[in-house]
Structure 1
Amino acid sequence: MTVLTLYGLPTCDSCRKARKALEAAGHKVQFRDVRAQPLSADEWQPLLTEFGDRLVNRQSQTWRNLNDYLKHAEVDALLEAQPAVMKRPVIASDARMTLGWDDEVRAAWDA
């Protein structure tokens, strides 16, 4: 059984769908609420290395509500200040990480 970490928000529909599908596919999912349990700079680093600025969801309401200063901040500073602006979900195992919940990601995790 694969143990996965799902980074997201409990109110996010994509996160809920991903968690349900992954568990149904036999994966053990550890959910990490990035707002309630903020990631440290060391925890953000592998995600930023893997996804770069794609980690920021510029289509979200959270992004639209940000002030110009935060919109032009470095990605790491922005995510530490406003973790809800992260594109979700990020699913990670020891071997790989994926971003979002589309057909390609579902296939990657056999969910």
Structure 2
Amino acid sequence: MVTPANSTTLILYGIKNCDTIKKARRWLDAHQVTYQFHDYRADGLDDVLLDSFIAELGWEALLNTRGTTWRKLDETHRASITSAEPAKQLMKEMPAIIKRPLLCAPGKPMLLGFSEEKYQQFVSEV
């Protein structure tokens, strides 16, 4: 069992039907880690939250250019995403284009993506 060092609640951001989100949630549940799940589609994605993600991680890291959502965009639209503002607008319109999962804890750098080793380390340091 991995328990955060204090009572800080972790927040896992993503989309519930994403396979990688499902893996991350299974890992957290199996290790009895307390967390809240924030589904971009069901719970929303406002400017303040998205701006905080972009400020820490950069828009390039957040934008999933390898996924289906990106590939379905026409070439002109993809070519127009050259800075934070158009990327932010795209992420708000199509939250499935945001890389996931994103694991957050107050006062700790955000963790983008999932691997058991990184989650183990992240949770043990919270």
Same structural fold, with TM-score higher than 0.5 when normalized by the shorter chain: yes
Identity %: 32
Which deviates further from its counterpart, 101-110 or 3-12? Answer: 101-110
Asked whether the 8 Å contact 2:103–2:112 carries over to 1, the reply is yes
* Structure 2 segments unaligned to the other structure (5+ residues): 1-6
Higher helix share: 2
Higher strand share: 1
Figure out how many residues of one structure are paired with residues of the other and give that number.
111
Aligned to 1:87: 99
TM-score between the two structures when normalised by the length of structure 2: 0.77
In 2, the alpha carbon distance for the partners of 1:60 and 1:36 equals: 20
Q: Select which of 10, 17, 21 maps to 2:23.
A: 17
Aligned to 1:57: 64
Q: Select which of 4, 7, 27 maps to 2:10.
A: 4
Asked whether the 8 Å contact 1:4–1:28 carries over to 2, the reply is yes
Q: Which has the larger Rg?
A: 2
* Structure 1 segments unaligned to the other structure (5+ residues): none
What's the RMSD between the two structures over aligned residues?
A: 1.9
Runs of 4 or more consecutive aligned structure 1 residues displaced over 3 Å after TM superposition: none
In 2, the alpha carbon distance for the partners of 1:90 and 1:68 equals: 27
Matched, 1:44 2:57: no
